[in-house]
């Protein structure tokens, strides 16, 4: 039982390049999330999904797209990377039965955009 | 949407000192509150959570938090910190399918 995994762990991009971050969970969770963590800002929600085939915008969605074609995977895409997207990205998942659910986090992806 | 604020951004304590980190949530009604910890270089882990019942919640590693409805607070406490408690601590509230996190408190425990 690996929990929540993220690939890649590190990535350096040039401005304008694109990339996709992959999140996978093996807990059969319904809800999945993408957050970004910046110093002094805490974690901010980018997009989330409440089930296979569904996605919704969070607090800071601009410049990102997501897809959830399979229940266990949640992809985060950057179409044209900008230096402001330099951050640590965390994926999380939860059972989705209510507000008391624990969110389980992946190890993070450190992205630098030059 | 519900939100939380953490008032202590950086805390430095000596080993064996007592810890209290402040967290306030935005408005009343039913709330589900969480404390997460992030050790250096690691991902977030749940310390404890409150959703109903006893307002004094006990978590892992000797941490506890008290939900005080009249003060809109959910402060984290530990009677005696250890060097291994050095980490960043986040308070969070459940709001509309997701968690809203505070900006975090960085705790440094010195030997």
For residue B28, pLDDT over 70 is answered with no
How many angstroms away from the CA of A35 is the closest CA of chain B?
10
What is the DSSP secondary-structure string of B22-90? --EES--SS--EEEEEE-TTS--EEEEEE-SS-SEEE-GGG-EEEEEGGGTEEEEEESS--GGG-EEEE
Nearest CA among A104, A102, A28 for reference residue A71? A28
From the list A48, A98, A100, which residue is nearest B98 (CB)?
A48
Across the interface, whether the CB atoms of A106 and B102 are under 8 A apart is answered no
Percentage helix, strand, coil, to 5, in chain B?
10, 50, 40
The Cα–Cα gap between A69 and A75 comes to 9
Report how far residue B111's alpha carbon sits from residue A49's, in angstroms, rounded to the nearest whole number: 44
Per-10-residue mean pLDDT, chain A, length 114: 90 96 96 94 94 95 96 96 96 85 93 97
Rounded to a whole number of angstroms, the distance from the CA of A112 to the nearest CA of chain B is 16
Token pair belonging to A2: 């690996």
In angstroms, the CA A89 to CA A54 distance is: 20
> Per-residue pLDDT averaged across B6-22, rounded?
94
Tens of pLDDT along B38-76?
999 888 999 999 988 899 999 999 999 999 999 999 999
Position B7 pLDDT exceeds 90: no
| Interface mutation target, options B33, B43, B50, B102, chain A, most CBs of A under 10 Å | B43
Pick from B32, B43, B46: CB nearest A106: B43
């Amino acid at each position: 039982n690996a929990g929540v995994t993220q690939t890649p762990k590190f990535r350096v991009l040039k401005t304008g390049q694109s990339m996709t971050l992959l999140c996978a969970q093996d807990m059969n969770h319904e809800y999945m999330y993408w957050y970004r963590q910046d110093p002094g800002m805490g974690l901010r929600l980018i997009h989330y999904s409440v089930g296979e085939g569904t996605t919704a915008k969070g607090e800071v969605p601009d410049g990102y797209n997501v897809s959830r074609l399979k229940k266990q995977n949640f992809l985060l895409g950057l179409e044209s990377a900008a230096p402001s997207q330099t951050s640590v990205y965390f994926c999380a998942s939860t059972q989705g039965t209510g507000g008391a659910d624990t969110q389980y986090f992946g190890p993070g992806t450190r992205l630098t955009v030059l | 949407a519900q939100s939380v604020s953490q008032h202590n951004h950086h805390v430095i304590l000596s080993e064996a000192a007592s810890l209290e980190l402040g967290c306030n949530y935005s408005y009343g009604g039913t709330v589900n509150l969480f404390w997460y910890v992030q050790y250096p270089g690691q991902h977030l882990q749940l310390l404890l959570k409150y959703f109903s019942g006893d307002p004094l919640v006990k978590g892992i590693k000797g941490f506890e938090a008290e939900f005080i409805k009249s003060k809109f607070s959910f402060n984290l406490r530990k009677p005696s910190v250890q060097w291994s408690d050095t980490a960043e601590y986040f308070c969070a509230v459940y709001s509309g399918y997701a968690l809203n996190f505070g900006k975090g408190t960085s705790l440094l425990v010195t030997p």
